[in-house]
Chains A and B, each alone.
Chain A
């Protein structure tokens, strides 16, 4: 008998394995940490406001503007400086983070749900149902969305709910196509046949048998849709078609900075919200790529030895 203790064999579930694979890449860890920080930053907006004593929309004309009426650079009172109306950029950035994250996540989730439903129905039933739904997806995909958003905003006026609606309407098709493709191959598998022979109806097969098999593309593509939605919202706000001022949003802050080319003399007005926007979308993109590789090791590009 050996006196050495046997090396314990640990059984790891797929979740543990996925987390291990995710944890191996420092870029993914950094992205995750950044996302957590942005979420905390957004959540602590009221607290930041209380701590600095500045509200997001109040104009501090005495302390926040120079004698010439120009915004003041970052200093002890205004950590991130002020904007053209003497408002505190730090507080506005925090409240703007709430908008960006809410719109980004909400629009991505709603669009994902629609895409999953349409994709599953199209892929499962095939035939004319598939033809109609696929053509509908083609049609939505080939509509000039920014122009249509423009037309919609000119009629209904800009608002948060309209922004979300527009983003959802023009972004569910990606998910729809992916799920449809997966569904087409999954519905021919034996386990579906088995379920059907046990008397399961289409709804039960689709949601109980097949849906769990789609969790990987659903998680990956929903994550990847979040940065797209965040940029879309920021673009709408930048063009004055998103969040209604004076409510703060990152796109709106950049639009204010662009007005009169003010940011050329007050670079923090573009650097701070611009980098916040860039790093947030970058973090979500890195996370999405990482999730794809970690959840589906087969999809990893084969590394060949360099010649």
Chain B
């Protein structure tokens, strides 16, 4: 059990290491002079040399990488080329918006996807199942940003034209002092992020449930007089939890990527928006920082899933 977890942590470290090498060497071989990006077009040759020495750009690549890695471990990700602010701080300032979006999104998609899957599986072939399957197909096919733009049109613009404010156009408001305002601004982004992913969970739950509900122990549970609700939620759900946890881990790992699109549509100043701006500005330290943060998401998600496995499935222990 300990060995299993240690192995998973090692794999997480491997992911982070691979990612950091990938971005670091990518930018090393990339065209363009970083010193010029820092100093701007008017810089003199002496200034450029000075900057190269300061940034350590004149040292061999493996030394640069190791010194970068050593600092990164302590949370020092260098400075933005554009405004010389520490990258870690820039990212940290953007975290509340992204985390609010992502955590709420996960809760909504679980709360929507799992019940739809169960409803669909309990009435195979019936109208409710057909509706559930329709939801699954449309959800899987809907590109997130199209859904986002259409919801903005329907739930922000049309009501506003008729004179009242149903939902705001976007933007992020901090949780404090008024959580209601915070949530009000996030409802559309949450649903947009959640609906497309909820379809995946609905399909997974439906498939698992269909399989499990034919098992003997379900018949036993029914025979001993449990209510159908208890049979489904207590005995049926138990078996679907492990594959759901696997899926959840994979999705949490990729959430930061998904957040980029939503932040773009709703104008949320989160980490994803920071990355898109950094690409436009060629601000490489920020891109490296965000990619590493994405890697960290993955490692954390993996560890959460592994712990969940141990809790859910006694055979792993």
Chain A residues within 8 Å of B, Cβ to Cβ: 138-139, 141-148, 150-156, 227, 231, 234-235, 238-241, 254, 257-258, 261, 263-264, 267, 270-271, 274, 277-278, 281-282, 285-286, 289, 301-304, 306
Instruction: Report B-chain residues with C-beta under 8 Å of the C-beta of A151.
Output: 22-23, 26-27, 287-288, 291
- Contact A141 B250, beta carbon cutoff 8 Å: yes
- Contact B298 A150, beta carbon cutoff 8 Å: no
- Contact A257 B149, beta carbon cutoff 8 Å: yes
Instruction: Report B-chain residues with C-beta under 8 Å of the C-beta of A271.
Output: 150
At the interface, yes or no: B70 with Cβ under 8 Å from chain A? no
With contacts A139-B18, A151-B22, A239-B261 known, what are 4 further pairs, Cβ within 8 A? Answer: A144-B256, A154-B284, A264-B152, A264-B153
Cβ 8 A contact of B153, one of A138, A227, A231, A267: A267
At the interface, yes or no: B278 with Cβ under 8 Å from chain A? yes
Q: How far is the CB of B250 from chain A (nearest CB, A)?
A: 7
7 contacts between A and B (CB under 8 A): A139-B14, A143-B19, A146-B258, A148-B291, A151-B291, A155-B27, A304-B124
Q: How far is the CB of B248 from chain A (nearest CB, A)?
A: 14
Instruction: Report A-chain residues with C-beta under 8 Å of the C-beta of B23.
Output: 148, 151
- The residues in B between 19 and 40 inclusive whose CB is less than 8 angstroms from any CB of A are 19, 22-23, 26-27, 30-31
Chain B residues within 8 Å of A, Cβ to Cβ: 11, 14-15, 18-19, 22-23, 26-27, 30-31, 123-126, 137-138, 140-146, 149-150, 152-153, 156-157, 169, 207, 210, 214, 250, 253-254, 256-258, 260-261, 264-265, 275-276, 278-280, 282, 284, 287-288, 290-291, 294-295, 297-298, 302
**A147 and B15 in contact (CB under 8 A), knowing A239-B276, A264-B153, A278-B142?**
no
Instruction: Report B-chain residues with C-beta under 8 Å of the C-beta of A144.
Output: 19, 253-254, 256-257, 291, 294-295, 297-298
**A235 and B279 in contact (CB under 8 A), knowing A152-B26, A270-B150?**
no
Which secondary structure dominates where chain B touches chain A? helix
Inter-chain CA distance A278–B31, complex, in Å, is 38
Cβ 8 A contact of A148, one of B22, B31, B261, B265: B22
Inter-chain CA distance A147–B140, complex, in Å, is 21
Instruction: Report B-chain residues with C-beta under 8 Å of the C-beta of A261.
Output: 152, 169
Inter-chain CA distance A238–B272, complex, in Å, is 14
**A154 and B137 in contact (CB under 8 A), knowing A146-B257, A146-B260?**
no
**A274 and B260 in contact (CB under 8 A), knowing A139-B15, A155-B30?**
no
Instruction: Report A-chain residues with C-beta under 8 Å of the C-beta of B140.
Output: 285
Cβ 8 A contact of B26, one of A146, A155, A278: A155
Instruction: Report B-chain residues with C-beta under 8 Å of the C-beta of A286.
Output: 137
Instruction: Report A-chain residues with C-beta under 8 Å of the C-beta of B157.
Output: 264
**A143 and B15 in contact (CB under 8 A), knowing A148-B291, A154-B279, A306-B125?**
yes
**Residue among A143, A274, A286 having the largest count of chain B Cβ atoms under 10 Å:** A143
- Contact B149 A258, beta carbon cutoff 8 Å: yes
Inter-chain CA distance A270–B291, complex, in Å, is 30
- Contact A235 B125, beta carbon cutoff 8 Å: no
Cβ 8 A contact of A147, one of B144, B145, B169, B291: B291
**A154 and B257 in contact (CB under 8 A), knowing A147-B294, A267-B153, A301-B124?**
no
Closest to A269 in B: B149
